[in-house]
Amino acid sequence: MQVWTLHVPKLMRIGIGQTYPLQDLAVRDEQLTVAFNTAAKIPIENSQTDVLYQLHHKHELVKRTPDGAKEAGVQIEAQGNGETIFLETYKIQEDITFEIFARKQRSGSGKKRIG
């Protein structure tokens, strides 16, 4: 059985004219190892509720088909929920390094609910 290694660097931030998401959220620094032709689930601990997390490769948004193939399909992204969220890759067939981009979402009304 072949095993491939998935490297995940720390969070990056994007967005102009917006406050930035936290950069020090826990994303495993160590290498995630997945079996050949298997999707990896990359955990982001304590995700922020107002942040969208997206998986990128060489600064390009990563997409996958519903069956997990590496093709044009749905974007690999997840909305933060205050808990651990997962970005599930396409089926890995070679060593690869992904980047995680975090972007704050705009609030609808600009008003904050108190109480």
Domain membership flag for residue 43? yes
Say if strands 12-13 and 99-104 run parallel, antiparallel, or are unpaired: parallel
Chain segment 8-62, per-residue pLDDT in tens: 455 544 445 555 555 555 566 556 788 889 999 988 888 889 889 999 988 899 9
| Cα dihedral 64→79→85→29 (10° resolution) | 80
Q: What pLDDT was estimated at residue 72?
A: 86
Rounded percentage of the chain residues whose pLDDT exceeds 70: 65
Q: Does pLDDT of 110 surpass 50?
A: no
Domain membership flag for residue 110? no
d(CA 9, CA 2): 23
114 - beta bridge partners? none
User: Do 76 and 55 form a contact (C-beta atoms < 8 A)?
Assistant: yes
Domain membership flag for residue 111? no
d(CA 87, CA 54): 8
Q: How confident is the model at residue 96 (pLDDT cuts 50, 70, 90)?
A: confident
Q: How confident is the model at residue 111 (pLDDT cuts 50, 70, 90)?
A: very low
User: Do 79 and 103 form a contact (C-beta atoms < 8 A)?
Assistant: no
Domain membership flag for residue 38? yes
Q: Does pLDDT of 115 surpass 90?
A: no
Q: How many domains does the chain have?
A: 1
User: Do 55 and 44 form a contact (C-beta atoms < 8 A)?
Assistant: no
Domain membership flag for residue 109? no
Task: List the CATH number of the domain containing 48.
Answer: 2.60.40
What range defines the domain where residue 86 resides? 3-104
Strands (E), 36-81: 38-44, 51-57, 60-61, 63-64, 74-75, 77-79
